[in-house]
Structure 1
């Protein structure tokens, strides 16, 4: 179905092979827009030249060496801005993180905050979504949720006390927000919080995505921070992010109304297991 007034030209997506990029491509498949799923070595300038919009998803909370937090989350935005010169794209849409802060001591949050600043001063019309933790459905839960699912009845490891609360947001709701921002000229430019309507602690979320008798093994924050210094798959910035609350400062419905979203609760997508 084609929405009245929406742009029908190509949509270029950086970081298109991640969980959000996959959902976004699936959503765009129902529209007439050509979808350009871009990888690390693709020519961005060529892909952007006649695009109606660019959606920048490239970035990670767990960069693999020799990549860095700045390289993955900041330099990729600079490359996107440079490649937009001469493009007819009406807007770039950027997926950031709820606690992004250019002055943060956490290199991930700092890089995201600095990337936002670059976009705001670039002169390119931009929509910046500061998203909470993203989860997929049972058939494709995504990396964060996959780490919280018990395998063979084993306890689920949780960093910290498990009382930290996240405003979990559905992957499909994020994809819908990205599509609306990219193609609907009635939506505004600016920076917006993108969070789900239901705040759950990590332990409550684990209970939703597992059987009722799931066991949880809490890793004390001090031990988690120590492991973050020596275990490559558990970098310190990731540990720090997972130990924090991740909650919006305003009612999530404010953003939902601006971008035509109907936000879904965790328990609508993951029926609590019995």
Structure 2
């Protein structure tokens, strides 16, 4: 087995490759064109989001048997073409699910307890108690859209908060228990105080939250997004905030990100979101913890060893 690694990975992953006598080339700077010239030499590829693994790339990967995603999102890989060429594709999403779940919970608490707003006021020496009276998660209805690794991990975190947890997943069922209830979108629209997105980016989920989604929500609500930026339309989000139909937002991802998540473009919608004290934005870091980097390595190596 000979693996090409095109993005940064934790040292543990390299150590595990060595321990299991797997040959590898670790190259995080070579361009797309240069990788194309050598990809035929490898039967395994480990990526994040630096390169677009498109049909052209895959057609030149004559000996490639698998593509392992160091992380979760697979949108940079042409999965359909890979399947056509019998190239297995898998991720290591279980490795950072806990980190994401903790981050979502943190954003929700930050919003409900006015931590961001009150802290900024204190920087101006304004001690405002009553103006920062917060909310409790208890007795709220939280809708989780997407019940994979991160959605289910977030639900587990919420189970002690005495709130109602309902979850919708178009491609998954049978996960209901005494506390977490399987749901449909109609019920989510009717009942939820909080919506949290945990879906991959696809044609189906692009702008999942749009003006139509917002209009269907029976109550004003909070939105949380740690999946992919383009799951939420900034235009619709801004309109929802201005109309008070959306009460606040916690966003770790935003549609202004570039494909490698290394930068953002600034526009009027982003500037508006940055000006709101009921909007929290973080730079796509929910899954980035010191612990998750190790977990991603062990999850991915286990999947690779199954193919050895």
The TM-score bracket by the shorter chain reads 0.3 to 0.5
Q: Which has the higher helix share?
A: 2
**TM-score, with structure 1 as normaliser:** 0.37
